[in-house]
Amino acid sequence: MELFGYSLETIYLFGFIVSGVLTLVYILLSDFIEGIFEALSEGPINPTLILSFLTFFNSMAYVIESFTEVHSLIVLVVSLFSAFLLVTLLNIFILIPLSKAEATLAYSDEDLKGRVGKVILSIPEDGFGEVMIEGTGGNIARSAVSFEVQAIPYGEQVLVVDVKESVLHVTPYVKLD
- Which residues form the domain of 145? 109-172
Domain final residue, candidates 64, 85, 101: 101
Closest listed residue to residue 132, CA positions, set 156, 100, 149: 156
pLDDT digits (tens, 9 = 90+) for 44-102: 667 788 888 999 999 999 999 888 888 989 999 999 999 999 999 988 898 778 777 75
Q: Tell me what the pLDDT averaged over the chain comes to.
A: 84
Q: Is the pLDDT of residue 103 over 70?
A: no
Closest listed residue to residue 141, CA positions, set 170, 175, 99, 174: 170
Domain final residue, candidates 55, 75, 101: 101
pLDDT digits (tens, 9 = 90+) for 75-85: 999 999 999 99
Residues 147 and 63 in one domain: no
Residue 146 lies in a domain: yes
CATH of residue 138: 2.40.50.140
Better-scored residue on pLDDT, 127 or 111: 127
Phi, psi of 33, deg, nearest 5: -65, -45
Residue 177 lies in a domain: no
Tally of structural domains, the chain: 2
Residues 15 and 93 in one domain: yes
